[in-house]
Amino acid sequence: MNQALSPARRRPHPAKGITALIFGILYAAFLLLHDLLPTRMGIALIVESLLPWTGIFLALVLLMTLIRFSWLSVIGLVISALVWTGMFGPALLPNQSSGDADLKVATHNVGARMPQPTAAAQNLVDQDPDIVTIQELESLSGKIIHKELDSAFTHARVVDTIGVWSKWPMSEPEEVDLGLQWPRAFATTISTDHGDIRFYAVHMPSVRPGHESMRNAALRRLSTVVKTDSADHVIVAGDFNTASTDGNLSTLVPQLEDSREQARGGFGFTWPARFPVTRLDHVLYRGFDASFDEVLERGSSDHRAVLAGLDLK
């Protein structure tokens, strides 16, 4: 009996791998068109805040390709991999900086009820930053942090729940109107050894899915103020309650650059501190180049602190 397979049985099924191809194309299209997601019920907020994590679908396409290997499945994998890598791959490149910089800027939302405020303040001081901005200073723990930073820095400016500490003199704070009933941002001019720097300390309104309008309006107002600022060297730092992949951050970027995007070395997620899944805290700027961007180890806040090294252009 002839055991050889007939040509019909040897020939690959023409539809083999079609599922992987379709899934890969749909995932690539989703990444490219995520700006079109509806804002209703917070769909865009949730998805864009977690956008890098959608790479799990890329892993699914890979698994489908391994199971149903064919040219079609490989094409689906390559298309989705190229789009994901084009969007997020540069952030994963290693940072080659030595860690030296003209100035170091730190930002930290210290939370309303920190159990170890003194340790949190000391953790920042140990990094030897030149400028520190803190959000949520209204609690007892915030007052303790305030006192600790006052003893470590020569100059300080505080407006409501936001503070800036600096090694160099600062002008009187100028409140930035974000359209809210309470101050959530202010500007000051810092007279550094490298010249004057315009510094904006920011704490954007918190958001919940389906309730982003207040934060989005505040971002637009801040963008207008920064855009009309004529200073050559500007830093805008704080808790933006806006993920790096949130399209609303584009109101400030690209007119400003992002330290993590320029320094690379990973996504730099900062929230929630125990297991960060998104980056809400940013150091944005113009007139500088970022030499490094570090996310500090988890303290007792629900945010992790960011430390960025900036070099004047």
- Find out whether 171 and 186 touch, Cβ atoms under 8 Å: no
Q: Where does the chain have alpha helices with state H?
A: 7-10, 18-32, 43-49, 55-67, 71-88, 117-125, 140-152, 213-228, 259-263
With 0-12 / 13-18 / 19 or more C-beta atoms within 10 angstroms meaning exposed / middle / buried, residue 293 is buried
What would the pLDDT profile of 70-98 be if each residue is shown by its tens digit? Answer: 899 999 999 999 999 999 998 898 886 76
Other Cβ atoms within 10 Å of 207 Cβ, number = 20
E-strand stretches of 110-254: 131-135, 155-159, 162-166, 174-175, 185-192, 195-203, 234-239
Chain centre distance of CA 251: 14
Q: Are strands 103-109 and 131-135 parallel, antiparallel or unpaired?
A: parallel
pLDDT of residue 16: 73
pTM: 0.89
Residue 171: per-residue pLDDT: 98
- How would you classify the pairing of strands 306-312 and 174-175? unpaired
Chain position carrying tokens 């679908």: 57
